[in-house]
Structure 1
Amino acid sequence: MDAMVPGGPLDVIGVCVPWDGAHVRMGRRDSQPWQEHSRYLGGLKDILARSGDHAGTIILGDFNQAIPRTRAPRAVHEQLMAVLQPSFQVATAEAIDGLSFPAIDHLAFGAAFRVASVQPLPNEGAGGQRISDHTGLLITLSHGGGLLQPVAIFGGHMGEHQHRQNRVTPFGTFEATPARGLFMGNRGPLLRPDGTLRPWRARAWICCLTSFRGQRVPLDNPKRYTPLFFLDEAVALAAGHRPCAECRRADYLAFKQAFRRAFHVPDDAPLSATDMDAVLHAARTHGRRTVVPAAAIDSLPDGTFVTHEDSPRQAYLVAAGAIHPWSHAGYRKPLPIPMHGNVSVLTPKPIVNVLHAGYPAHDGQAFHPVAERCNQLHRS
């Protein structure tokens, strides 16, 4: 946008730089973490290179990076700074009074401007409801000796807008979402130097409580296991995780007993967590999904996840005589079991056997079986 203000011409460029997970686990699903972000920055740099002098230019919007760097890969952050420097200063860099976290939406300005003030805006409506997942900023600049009309932008931060890619789907993949999981788990230390996650690092894939004896686990420590989160235990089981032997001791022992029944291991025969993990890991990494006729869903135990050939990207929980469309936020209204086509069973075969042998997948709230909760939610 071009405009005239006291002191000369003004050029305003609005941006919305893609977040690190754009088209990775959602959208086209054909990209790598930070790839779309980096591609956008490359295009912005080309545009600025063609436009000459930037003294009277303002760039504002969602940059999806904190300045200075917090979690973006170093190379990506350096790419952003190469776009802005030396022509622009950033009004929203460093700490902002009244804001307890770094902004990721910014206002960058050319040499003709000076910052008069940066103020956070309230993020609640008259009734106390949250207006946005962003936190507003009111920025006043001076230009040619006079003040410009204050500019309002909405800056998110990593805790509200840039959610970590640590929520696990029934497909076993990781996604970023504001939805909270009822269970935590891990597959070992997954964090790579570039900020992306490995699919696994250890054979012990476990499902834990989100709170245990006041322990706190860092989310981004490459030397510690990487916490992952699941809507409920059925999702964790579909992704190939078993109950933790420490924080979920009773559930672990119940799983172990069901495992014995499923695989005909005598009660007096040794059976360790390592033994079970070896069976589960082979199914997770080398096994193929079981494809069965849709009508055979009735033979699957409650707590199993499937997809149907008509909607292969939608996971359905088999429970209470129906299939329940899954999302990170919860289950939608149940659907009748389809009588046509085929379904792919997402839950690994050994865990399906354990569910058949009597282990109930829990919902993480009152520790009721998932099937019972689905009955309660959709009884009408």
Structure 2
Amino acid sequence: MPLQNRVDPWGNLIVADARGAWLGNRGKLHDENKEIVALWKHKQWKVCQLAYKGRKRQIFSPDSYSELFFLDEATAFSAGHRPCAECRRERYLEFKEAWRRTNGAGLPEIAIAQIDEQLHKERVVPGGKKASHLMEFRDLPSGAFIERDNEAYLYWQMQLRKWSPSGYTEVGALPQPSQVVKVLTPFSIVKMYKNGFAPQVHESASG
């Protein structure tokens, strides 16, 4: 039976058969029955490689963090995760520098703890539900997710693509440029996209 360890663009943990492109870590979220009992245990929400230095893992083992999986980086970033500093060092440094340039208020350096703290404010509201923000569609950068009719849509290559655990499906009609849309991707990451940083996106988004 599949475990409740696939992450959707809201950051929810869902059950799905499809294999993800990336591994995720929010701490140990499962109990002895491999059931989810918490949505996070720390604010360092990471995106990791599926394999690293030949390490072997038992999924949801009793003494380790809960392995989460993402369709692509765009999904992981929408949920509020950021690259791991160990297994994705180059991407981590790229993300950290892009975040500093875009959101660092001119600071020459910024600690990853500051980024994690800000991302946590932008990904959840008190009570643990997904945080979102509003903006006019004309200001939405490629790579960001919006919510429409309780579905998540990725804006990519000037199209809206409906998200599913195994890939992007039908193309949605584009809103009018002045229409206000509900954005799921954290605001600071949206600003990074507008400043040239781009997520890895599943190939089905270009189909």
Q: Which amino acid aligns with 2:23?
A: M
Counterpart contact for 1:190–1:222, Cα < 8 Å: no
Counterpart contact for 2:137–2:180, Cα < 8 Å: no
Counterpart contact for 2:71–2:165, Cα < 8 Å: yes
- Any idea what SS the aligned residue of 2:147 has? strand
Question: Matches of residues 94-133 of structure 1 in structure 2 within 5 Å?
Answer: none
Q: CA deviation at 1:281?
A: 1.2
Alignment partners' CA distance in 2, 1:176 and 1:210: 18
Whose RCO is larger (CA < 8 A, sep 6+)? 2
Counterpart contact for 2:123–2:132, Cα < 8 Å: no
Query: Number of residue pairs matched?
Result: 201
Question: Matches of residues 1-380 of structure 1 in structure 2 within 5 Å?
Answer: 162-193=1-32, 195-197=34-36, 198-266=38-106, 268-269=108-109, 271-286=110-125, 288-292=131-135, 296-308=136-148, 311-312=149-150, 314-339=151-176, 342-363=180-201, 374-375=205-206, 377=207
Instruction: Provide, for residues 15-63 of structure 1, a one-character-per-residue CA deviation record: whole Å limited to 9, x for no partner.
Output: xxxxxxxxxxxxxxxxxxxxxxxxxxxxxxxxxxxxxxxxxxxxxxxxx
Alignment partners' CA distance in 1, 2:26 and 2:131: 20
- Any idea what SS the aligned residue of 1:189 has? coil
Alignment partners' CA distance in 1, 2:49 and 2:33: 29
Instruction: Provide, for residues 75-111 of structure 1, a one-character-per-residue CA deviation record: whole Å limited to 9, x for no partner.
Output: xxxxxxxxxxxxxxxxxxxxxxxxxxxxxxxxxxxxx
Counterpart contact for 2:7–2:69, Cα < 8 Å: yes
Counterpart contact for 1:217–1:227, Cα < 8 Å: no
Identical aligned residues as a percent: 35
Alignment partners' CA distance in 2, 1:374 and 1:194: 36
Alignment partners' CA distance in 2, 1:301 and 1:342: 14
Larger radius of gyration: 1
Runs of 4 or more off by more than 4 Å in structure 1?
Answer: none
Alignment partners' CA distance in 2, 1:175 and 1:354: 27
TM-score w.r.t. length of structure 2: 0.88
Q: CA deviation at 1:204?
A: 0.3
- Report the aligned-residue RMSD: 2.1
Q: Which amino acid aligns with 2:186?
A: P
Q: Which amino acid aligns with 2:205?
A: C
Alignment partners' CA distance in 1, 2:162 and 2:198: 19
Counterpart contact for 1:259–1:357, Cα < 8 Å: no
Q: CA deviation at 1:300?
A: 1.2
Q: Which amino acid aligns with 2:22?
A: F
Q: CA deviation at 1:288?
A: 3.8
Q: CA deviation at 1:334?
A: 2.3
Q: Which amino acid aligns with 2:181?
A: V
Going from structure 1 to structure 2, the CA distance change for 1:245 and 1:325 (only over 3 Å counts) comes to same
- Any idea what SS the aligned residue of 2:118 has? helix
Alignment partners' CA distance in 1, 2:56 and 2:112: 24
Q: Which amino acid aligns with 1:166?
A: N
- Any idea what SS the aligned residue of 1:278 has? helix
TM-score w.r.t. length of structure 1: 0.50
Going from structure 1 to structure 2, the CA distance change for 1:341 and 1:358 (only over 3 Å counts) comes to closer
Alignment partners' CA distance in 1, 2:108 and 2:204: 35
- Structure 2: state its 5+ residue gaps: none
Going from structure 1 to structure 2, the CA distance change for 1:355 and 1:222 (only over 3 Å counts) comes to farther
Q: Which amino acid aligns with 1:332?
A: T
Q: CA deviation at 1:333?
A: 3.2
Q: CA deviation at 1:222?
A: 3.5
